[in-house]
């Protein structure tokens, strides 16, 4: 004995009505979450702090990002964001093929100093074939060559108060704000974290961040700051940009970017 | 703790006695099942619509480690093309291309078409905002996984998993009969789930939920360092992204089937049981429920 409460026709009617109300109803009632000052959004965004802590707990400090073989490089590194900065300082350096370029390492360090491109190239280097994961969702495998950032940090000697590194860049993405990024000291000292000057066996092209870009291989693409001119050791990044630790972070993206 | 049929009858609301043609009310869904069920409803709602927002940031799915630019490893793509009579939304699945103007590729008002993967009616926020989509997605992802762990522990302790969910040999033997009954919209209401229900719920809880969680984690470059086997398991980050999307499609299909079954089986009774725990059985059913 069963009770058939619905005929098939009524059932189809219900289904169609339900489906169309979902599609037509839309989700614009949640558009307030796009406001980065909204308190509900701020609450939801705390999940990103949880992700950061959970991943730092779970993932060994020195755990390496997967490295690939030469045969898995099937295309050039896809450029994104700034591809040809037009700030006067950058144009002047580019005109002389970055011969006058200096990378400044400043802030909370015992011995602030700067490096020319040839000095960086003459330091012990690391080459790695890794996958670049853009926050948008695409990935691209490429071979990066550069100076391990930990070597630079060993030379300048971080002060005990230093907690983050800030990377200051030459490019303005939306015409006025300068690109910048930051990372914690675990990512900074990670063996695969490079100041890259080579890509796929060539000098790093302008489109991909010449003369120096950062590689932090366990993080998404926007952490891989291009066109870097200064690395600053800081105890807080609140005084840069809008205080969130990076150009995209200031625009609502999470700072850690490990997922 | 099992109770006698007598104590069950005494504990049901008085209305029961006024409807002698129905079976008795039994306590069918534990508090753990009900709380986690509704937590998942909320989570999957936000995960779906924020996930479509994230998909729209790069509305192409690939197979492999990376996304082919110089070569083609795409299996699903939505885009817009210039057609003689204006822009057209197109969707390509493997080799087949479809005109999906108005839904995928191009949507919105005819005079102000938007070039986007999924339309604004199914993304959170409605406009293009990847950063906010990610904030929403990861919050509800944590809640979703937490609810799954709570449910798993509770179901192991209470015996719900073994008693109610795992299909028995008899369930599998009854499967053809059960499928025939479903096809005729004939439902027998008793305490236990029927074979199709068990298979569907186990498929969601032990296949689709783990699939969508693990493929989500595979997309994390940091998790790739911790658990590189994830990339081997799913044949690369971009395949994982595609499977994550496929898992979503299958969950949506489950949702549609689930709602149709609830409507067909008697929405009031089914909803009562997943809200209050109490479920009215078919008259012939021997009372076998138990109180919390």
A136, A14: one domain: no
Averaged confidence pLDDT in chain A: 92
The pLDDT of residue A2: 41
Higher pLDDT, B157 or B23: B157
Are A151 and A39 in the same domain?
A: no
On whether any CB of chain B is under 8 Å from the CB of A134, the answer is yes
* A256 domain residue, yes or no: no
**Closest C-alpha to B29, from B121, B205, B158:** B158
Residues A203 and A120 placed together within one structural domain of the fold: yes
Does the structure show a pLDDT above 60 at A23? no
The confidence band for A4, taking pLDDT boundaries of 50, 70 and 90, is very low
- Name the band, by pLDDT with cuts 50, 70 and 90, for residue B16: very low
pLDDT reading at B157 higher than 70: yes
- A113 interface with B at CB cutoff 8 Å: no
CB nearest to B126's CB, from A1, A23, A31: A31
State the Cα–Cα distance between residues B66 and A66, nearest whole angstrom.
13
Residue A118 shares a structural domain with residue A211: yes
Given a cut of 80, is residue A216 above it in pLDDT?
A: yes
B226:A136 CB<8 A: no
pLDDT reported for residue A45: 97
pLDDT of residue A28: 84
Interface test with A, best of B125, B221, B241 (most A CBs within 10 A): B221
Q: Are residues A234 and A116 in the same domain?
A: yes
pLDDT in tens, A102-142: 999 999 999 999 999 999 999 999 999 999 999 999 999 99
| CATH at residue A234 | 3.90.420.10
| B284 or B216, higher pLDDT | B216
Interatomic CA distance for residues B143 and B150, integer angstroms: 10
The 10s digit of each residue's pLDDT in A171-206 is: 998 777 999 999 999 999 999 999 999 999 999 999
Contact A5 B127 (CB under 8 A): no
Q: What percent of chain A has pLDDT over 90?
A: 88
pLDDT value of residue A27: 63
Which helix (H) or strand (E) segment is B43 a member of? helix B31-56
A258 vs B221: CB contact, 8 Å cut-off?
yes
Q: Is B71 on the interface with A (CB under 8 A)?
A: yes
For the ranges B101-115, B178-192, B229-243, which has the lowest average pLDDT?
B178-192
| Model pLDDT, residue B7 | 38
> Do residue A35 and residue A88 come from a single domain?
no
Asked whether the beta carbons of residue B222 and residue A55 sit closer than 8 angstroms, the reply is yes
> Per-residue pLDDT tens for A80-95?
999 999 999 999 999 9
Residue A50 to residue B142, Cβ atoms within 8 A: yes
Using CB atoms and an 8 Å cut-off, which of residues 217-236 of chain A contact chain B?
217-220
Confidence of residue B14 (pLDDT cuts 50, 70, 90): very low
Residue B114, token pair as written in the block: 């938007």
In a shared domain, residues A127 and A227: yes
Question: Is the pLDDT reported for residue A238 higher than 90?
Answer: yes
Q: Would you state the structure tokens that stand for residue A158, as one six-digit string?
A: 């971080």
For residue B284, the model assigns a pLDDT of 62
Q: What is the pLDDT of residue A192?
A: 98
* Structural domains counted in chain A: 2
Give the structural domain span for A27: 10-58
Q: Is residue A3 part of a domain?
A: no
- For residues A31 and A117, membership in a common domain is answered with no
Q: Is the pLDDT of residue A25 over 80?
A: no
Answer with the residue of higher pLDDT: B107 or A13.
B107
Which of B48, B143, B222, B234 has the most A C-beta neighbours within 10 Å, making it the best mutation to test the interface with A? B222
Same domain, A170 and A85: yes
B54-64 pLDDT, tens digit per residue, is 999 999 999 99
Is it the case that residue B181 has pLDDT exceeding 80?
A: yes
DSSP string, chain A: -------HHHHHHHHHHHHHHHHHH-SGGGGGGG-TT-HHHHHHHHHHHHHHHHHHHHS-TTPPPP---GGG--SPPPP-S-SS---HHHHHHHHTTTTT-EEEEEESBSS-EEEEHHHHHHS--EEEEEEEE-TTS-EEEEEEEEEEHHHHHHHH-B-TT--EEEEEEEEESSSSSEEEEEEEHHHHH-TT-EEEEEETTEEPPGGGTSS-EEE-TTS-GGGS--SEEEEEEES--TTSTTSSSSTTGGGT--SS---
B238–A contact, CB cutoff 8 A = yes
Are the beta carbons of B231 and A18 separated by less than 8 Å?
no
Q: Say which residue the tokens 């009632």 belong to.
A: A29
Q: What was the pLDDT predicted at B21? A: 52
Q: In terms of CA atoms, which chain B residue is nearest residue A47?
A: B139
Q: Clarify whether residues A27 and A49 are in a common domain.
A: yes
Tell me the two tokens of residue A199: 């890509």
pLDDT surpasses 60 at B6: no
Complex prediction ipTM: 0.90
- Say yes or no: A14 and A122 in one domain: no
CA distance B70 to chain A (A): 6
pLDDT in the model for residue A254: 97
**The token pair that represents B284 in the structure block:** 């012939």
Q: What is the pLDDT at residue B188?
A: 80
Q: Which of residues 58-97 of A touch B (CB under 8 A)?
A: 58-60, 63-66, 68, 72, 74-76, 78
**Dist. CA B12–CA B276, nearest whole Å:** 12
When pLDDT is averaged across residues B258-271 and rounded to a whole number, the result is 93
Which pLDDT score is estimated for B85?
87
- For residue A4, being part of any structural domain is answered with no
> What is the least distance, in Å, from the CA of B170 to any CA of chain A?
21
pLDDT over 70 at A246, yes or no? yes
**Domain-ending residue, one of A58, A81, A97:** A58
Q: Is A148 found in the same domain as A40?
A: no
User: Most B CBs within 10 Å: which of A8, A12, A27, as the mutation test of the B interface?
Assistant: A27
Minimum mean pLDDT range among A184-193, B12-21, B114-123, B223-232 = B12-21
* Whole-angstrom distance, CA of residue A127 vs CA of residue B222: 19
Q: Is residue A1 part of a domain?
A: no
Nearest residue of A to residue B138, measured between CA atoms:
A47
A37-63 pLDDT tens trace: 999 999 999 999 999 999 999 999 999
Q: Which domains does chain B have, with CATH numbers?
A: 5-59+126-280 (1.20.950.20), 61-117 (no CATH)
End-to-end distance of chain B based on CA atoms, in angstroms? 7
Looking at A37, A58, A79, which one is the last position of a domain? A58
Q: Least CA distance to A34: which residue of chain B? A: B132
């Amino acid at each position: 004995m069963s009770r058939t409460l619905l005929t098939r026709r009524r059932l189809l009617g219900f289904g169609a009505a339900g489906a169309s109300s979902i599609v037509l109803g839309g989700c614009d009632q949640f558009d307030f979450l796009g406001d980065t000052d909204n308190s509900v959004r701020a609450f939801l965004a705390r999940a990103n702090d949880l992700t950061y802590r959970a991943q730092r707990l779970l993932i060994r400090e020195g755990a390496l990002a997967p490295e690939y073989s030469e045969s898995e490089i099937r295309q050039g590194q896809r450029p994104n964001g700034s591809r040809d900065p037009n700030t006067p300082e950058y144009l002047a350096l580019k005109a002389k093929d970055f011969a006058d370029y200096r990378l400044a390492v400043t802030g909370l360090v015992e011995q602030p100093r700067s490096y020319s491109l040839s000095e960086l190239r003459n330091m012990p280097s690391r080459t790695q074939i890794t996958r670049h994961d853009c926050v948008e969702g695409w990935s691209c495998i490429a071979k990066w060559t550069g100076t391990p950032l930990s070597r630079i940090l060993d030379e300048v000697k971080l002060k005990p108060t230093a907690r983050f590194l800030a990377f200051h860049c030459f490019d303005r993405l939306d015409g006025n704000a300068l690109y910048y990024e930051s990372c914690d000291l675990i990512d900074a000292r990670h063996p695969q974290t490079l100041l890259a000057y080579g890509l796929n066996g060539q000098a790093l092209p302008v489109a991909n961040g010449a003369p120096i870009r950062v590689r932090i291989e366990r993080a998404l693409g926007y952490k891989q700051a291009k066109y870097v001119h200064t690395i600053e050791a800081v105890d807080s990044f609140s005084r840069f940009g809008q205080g969130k630790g990076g150009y995209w972070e200031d625009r609502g993206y999470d700072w850690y970017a490990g997922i | 703790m099992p109770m006698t049929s007598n104590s069950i009858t005494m504990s049901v609301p008085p209305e029961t006695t006024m409807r002698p043609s129905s079976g008795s009310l039994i306590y069918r869904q534990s508090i753990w099942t009900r709380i986690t069920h509704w937590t998942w409803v909320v989570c999957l709602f936000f995960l779906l619509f924020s996930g479509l927002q994230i998909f729209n940031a790069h509305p192409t799915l690939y197979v492999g480690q990376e996304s082919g630019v110089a070569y083609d490893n795409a299996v699903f793509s939505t885009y817009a093309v210039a057609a003689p009579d204006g822009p057209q939304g197109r969707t390509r699945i493997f080799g087949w291309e479809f005109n999906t103007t108005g839904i995928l590729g191009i949507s919105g008002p005819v005079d102000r078409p938007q070039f986007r993967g999924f339309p604004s009616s199914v993304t959170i926020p409605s406009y293009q905002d990847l950063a906010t989509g990610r904030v929403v997605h990861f919050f509800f992802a944590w809640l979703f996984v937490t609810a799954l762990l709570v449910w798993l522990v509770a179901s192991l302790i209470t015996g719900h998993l073994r008693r109610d969910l795992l299909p028995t040999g008899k369930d599998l033997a009854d499967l053809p009969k059960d499928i025939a009954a479903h096809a005729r919209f004939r439902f027998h209401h008793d305490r236990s789930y029927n074979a199709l229900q068990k298979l569907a719920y186990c498929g969601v809880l032990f296949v689709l939920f783990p699939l969508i969680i693990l493929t989500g984690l595979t997309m994390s470059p940091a998790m790739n360092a911790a658990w590189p086997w994830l990339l081997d398991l799913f044949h690369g980050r971009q395949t994982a992204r595609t499977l994550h999307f496929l898992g979503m499609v299958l969950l949506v299909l489950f949702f549609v089937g689930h709602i149709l079954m609830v409507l067909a089986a008697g929405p009031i009774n089914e909803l009562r049981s997943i809200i209050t725990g109490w479920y009215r059985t078919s008259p012939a059913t021997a009372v076998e429920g138990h109180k919390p």
